[in-house]
Structure 1
């Protein structure tokens, strides 16, 4: 398995790039989020990869971050979501946005992505629920360590990811962990 490529960016043809590694050019399909963050042609680049071998093709998918690759791998485990669909999903929203959409069960955000229909979006929400955390990352609004701790505490107390995320949104950004938990519990008790 090829886990990482480091070399010179030889070509850029969205959504594919060619990375020249010591004279061998590897075609790599990348999500648009990675594509836009790549250096210019002729510059050094490093991509984390996922190698897919099928009966009729061998395809490399490249990612700028470990979180993107982890999200991609989680997505392709879902029935009906292949590598192309997963790549399209990661091109349409960041990993943080995907995580937030799953946590808050926002079907509408997923359906807006080309290639994602209502049934696929429902399957994504169902199968990825509760698998976010370490696999894909905390929701985008859990930006600080304190907020992440508050979110984890609320989930540990039995609140759903959605309830905890909504309570977290209402908290002041500078709240300490203990203060945030108290405020969140008061809000959830109403």
Structure 2
């Protein structure tokens, strides 16, 4: 039986994964940074859409806030050379609406800014996704653009103890070196910014 959605209590959260407790069973779930940055506090309820990968040596779960995000991830991993790890990195570096726009505009430069994505891989992404995403309804595209314009809300999250340290860890998990992450965050950090604001601002600054 494949797992499609999970709802439970968040008991552990790290920059690239969480553990969700459901009736005493802890499910380890890998997340894009966009989802991690919007997580509620530990011990709060959380619901995620799940993509499951069953291998001989592992049973892997990938979590997404929206059904459309999971659908986009599934389209990504169908591309030759793009496995779940790279798919998560892509969706960590770009909002879903931005990725869709890059594909529509054939913006090769935007894709090559993502850590681990070279020119050949970016070209393959543009070619494969351009055809696959034609089947997406205009309503799906419009909803993603609208929702990405404002922050996704899982629950009212409590402030983190050290947002700068969490943001640095998140960028390192994405593939940046610690020195790069620290420098990028220091360049944009303003008092009062939370983890999500820092991650988004740092990624935007590094993309210039």
Output the TM-score relative to the length of structure 2.
Answer: 0.65
| Alpha carbons of structure 1 residues 39 and 142: separation in structure 2 relative to 1, 3 Å | closer
* Alignment of structure 1 residues 74-153 onto 2, 5 Å: 74-135=75-136, 137-138=140-141
TM-score norm. by structure 1 comes to 0.71
More contact order relative to length (CA 8 Å, sep ≥ 6): 2
Residue 27, structure 1, aligned to residue 35, structure 2 = no
SS at match of 1:8: strand
Distance 1:9 1:96 in 2: 27
Alpha-carbon spacing, 1:36–1:134, altered in 2? closer, same or farther (3 Å): farther
In structure 2, relative to structure 1, the CA distance for the partners of 1:134 and 1:142 (3 Å cut) is: farther
Which residue does 1:5 correspond to in 2? 6
Q: Which runs of 5+ in 1 are unaligned?
A: 144-190
Residue 45 of structure 2 is matched in structure 1 by 44
Deviation readout 1:123-169 (Å, 9 max, x if unpaired): 000001133255484279976xxxxxxxxxxxxxxxxxxxxxxxxxx
User: Would you say the 8 A contact 2:17–2:30 is kept in 1?
Assistant: yes
SS in 2 for 1:18: strand
| Residues 18, 26 of structure 1: 8 Å contact kept | yes
The Cα RMSD (Å) is 1.9
Structure 1 segments of 4+ aligned residues over 2 angstroms from their partners: 130-143
Preserved CA contact (<8 Å) 1:3 1:50: yes
Deviation by residue 1:41-73 (Cα, 9 ceiling, x = unmatched): 110000000000122211000000011100100
